[in-house]
Structure 1
Amino acid sequence: MVTNFISILYVLTATLEDCMGKPTENVIFLHGFLSSSLFWTETVFPNLSEPTKRNYRLFAVDLLGFGRSPKPRDCLYTLKDHLEMIDKSVICPFQLNSFHLVAHSMGCIIALALAAKYLNSVQSITLIAPPYFPSSKESASLTALRRLADRRLWPPLLFASSVMSWYEHLGRCVCFIICRNHRTWEWILSLLSGRRDLNFMIIDLTGHTHHSAWHTMHNVICGGAKLMDEYLEALKDSAVSVNVIQGSRDQVVPLECSNNIKMKVPNAEVNIITNADHNTVVVGREMDFTQDLERTWGISC
């Protein structure tokens, strides 16, 4: 496993030596809001089968403004910005003429945009808890804001989305106190918990700035909502394999979103995981999830 800084995005690639120079399959992983590539490298990567390790190149990306990728203050973090940086950081440098996409939550919007752009290159797209609400372009952004950033205290991710969406000054204060001093807080939590290594999901919660989170929330999650119909229409008429996975107890993205995609793309495969929520649809069932991915890639090749 090799860590690379490609262009300006942080990209972690997993490639075996005997895979170098040989024709291989490629997979790009995109994380969700307030997350990072750790969501994949801590769950999927350790559970890959030996044949997959030999024949696939995996790219786990820290999206612009999150994780270990730069967080420029002069960027509005639009969907176009994210797409351009993935192009410059992964697709162009590694000359990916064919690839699979795997995305979680907010990452699904970016993945669908990539798939629509590279219809002839994408072999399959796996969407985990994709936020999609059919509505007119005029009301799509507001619908997404109201449904995905409801003013609620629980679950924590929904509360964080609410703060980032509706309470700008409060969100700015929280980011100033916690995110800017995240190493200090991580040290304190390590002392209190008695654990040297904190759970990656706790670390990810502080891996952003107020500016990057605020603008990504409004310009990708909400702004991208009005483009979802267009992206799905493109997939509907293509040969791309579309797979949707969501937990039956997801409190962040309504379960209806998966059914909405099925209605828009009739050939999409929808798998509802019983008793799983927004994160435990992957975390806690890593082996089963990874095996499902490998089957999808094998069928799509």
Structure 2
Amino acid sequence: MNTNPIFIVGNVHSGTTLLRRILGAHATVYEVGGETQLFHYLPLHRRCYPNLEDEKTLRAYITYVAKVGKTHYGFVHNWPQDKPAPLAEFSLDESQIDGMMIEAKGITNHGEVIKVVMDYIARSAGKDRWMDKTPGHLLCIDQIIKDIPEAQFVELVRDPRDILSSKRSRSSAEWMQRRLKIVPNIQKYIRFQTGYDPVWDSLTWKSAIRIGTQAQQKHQGQVMRVRYEDLVTEPEQVVTAVCGFLDLPFSAEMLDVGWTNNTTQIHSKKGSGIGTSAIGKGM
């Protein structure tokens, strides 16, 4: 039984959500419902929870990680800061936090605590391993492997012209404008994350490709690169290869995912989630 954590990384708008839904359909994989950003903000965690030898601090950090792991980063941080959400909002209770505390006892490394908490959540859900889809964790591969040596990564890459087209559509999408009005305290964050600048975004894509290539060379056997175009054109062949890399038995049911488009925020639980309609839109 392979229990290695799975990380889906890559440039934004590269199909990472689609792959998350495909792998998340596997019976042995616990799928976090959104981006966790846990390793992206690890330096901030160390400042906010500096001494994990202190039981109170460790419990607070475990509780935070568990909340993110049961939902996602946005859900936790969009909650009013002056009114902390009860554990029940995250399908958690104090007995589960107690169990995580027991397993994390003596661990003072924040990254290792993340693994303990996520392992616990996956087991509690009846799964063998967990999967995190945070595109920006592409920048954190070295740190993640330092803390979780057995971690495996699938990097998504996509034609930069189609990424630019997707970002342009998202930056002006009606749902995004509504969100800015509803959650004003994160306006700057959202504008930064969704802003469209063809020059900057092109340079970001180029940098991501370089970082991914270096990670493949440095951590051979732990990082697999997948082209979005190949995934949607030959899904069974590509997903079978990804499953082989991750030591997951392939199942045809994995391909029966609902359609999702994070640019328009339109989702469906029915099949037909894999298609080629998004190829070539930027040409």
Same fold (TM over 0.5): no
Bigger RCO of structures 1 and 2 (CA < 8 A, at least 6 apart)? 2
Structure with the higher helix share, 1 or 2: 2
Structure with the higher strand share, 1 or 2: 1
Superposition TM-score, scaled by structure 2 size? 0.39
